[in-house]
Copies of this chain bind each other. A is one copy, B any other.
């Protein structure tokens, strides 16, 4: 997982430590050595470790001037702006970075490279602007070609959106590498791309080509021992089930890890009660069965919002309900899940 930029300054602008500052938190957790600082007025003077408990002592600074003094090679847009439009003071900060030759990495829906002002600044200073959400070129149609890979194929799936499917995939990749296996984490969202330096953001790809792009990426990495595809959405989410289905049929996993946020009874931003875990297992296996007999081989429990006792209880119940190993991967790593994936 080598990325072209290795001195990152993360812009979080006051939202650090909030549940939704996922991009910042994940970068600090999985690329701690590559983050030189965080730009966040709310916590200036502390370190990332102080605020988030992540293994990074990157300083938190209040101004772009202080941030640039840390000699970053890239500014990462670490949060989504409220409402979608870029606040004016972000515009000034992004321009300031580009003027000084610092590249800008963005997963925003709006493409920064298409802004003539930014483009001109980047042109002059030699900085680059990377928009992770820009759809790749081409119109590939999936044909079950994923079945031809040498690699064992793994996909993380979930009982909702935004519950840790990316984290489970990254942890599984880490466990596999720790065992000496050649493993590839294949990112399908902007945070995963920031962590791994490659991949694609599925949510901007037209419906007909989603599975085809996933298949293409899996096949290109099929010479490894393991490919671990970052899941998206959820097979029962009214808005995002289409993306999930494309991931299932594009990657045709041998093994799936079911990710569940134990404190959640109701689907986020929906009024839908969640079915029992065993039903999720059946659903995901049934969705791929006629194309490939993939199995759910383990459960990743996200304990956010639970006490330690409640979390232990949730893990035990998940194992009882499904007969599969259940793990808090952030706390305990994914070694136990890897066992199931490899057998």
- Please give the residue numbers on chain A whose beta carbons come within 8 Å of chain B beta carbons, in ascending order: 109, 135, 139, 141-144, 202-212, 215, 235-246, 248-250, 252, 269-272, 275, 283, 286, 290-291
Contacts and interface: CB of A to CB of B under 8 A. Distances in A.
A242 B210 contact: yes
A272 B269 CA distance: 37
Contact of A208 (B239, B245, B248, B270): B239
A140 to B, nearest CB: 9
Nearest to A237: B249
Complex copy number for this chain: 2
Contacts of A275: 290
A286 B275 CA distance: 13
A139 B271 CA distance: 20
11 contacts: A109-B139, A143-B238, A144-B238, A144-B271, A206-B207, A208-B239, A210-B242, A211-B239, A211-B242, A242-B243, A242-B244
Contacts of A203: 206-208
Query: Which 7 pairs across A and B sit closest by C-beta, in order of nearness?
Result: A242-B246, A242-B242, A142-B239, A245-B245, A203-B208, A207-B243, A142-B238
A240 B209 CA distance: 8
A215 B242 CA distance: 14
B211 A270 contact: no
A282 to B, nearest CB: 9
Contact of A239 (B205, B212, B241, B270): B212
A290 B203 CA distance: 24
A238 B242 contact: no
Contacts of A238: 142-144, 211, 215, 249-250, 252, 291
A225 to B, nearest CB: 24
B272 A208 contact: no
A144 B109 CA distance: 24
Contacts of A143: 238-239, 269-270
A280 to B, nearest CB: 10
A275 B290 CA distance: 8
Contacts of A142: 238-239
A205 B244 CA distance: 16
Contacts of A290: 236, 272, 275
Contacts of A236: 249, 290-291
Central interface residue in A209, A249, A270, by most chain B CB within 10 Å: A249
Given A144-B272, A270-B144, A275-B290, A246 B207 contact: yes
A54 to B, nearest CB: 28
A240 B248 CA distance: 12
Contacts of A144: 238, 270-272
Given A144-B272, A204-B207, A204-B208, 11 more contacts: A144-B270, A203-B208, A204-B206, A207-B240, A211-B239, A212-B239, A238-B252, A242-B244, A244-B245, A245-B245, A272-B291
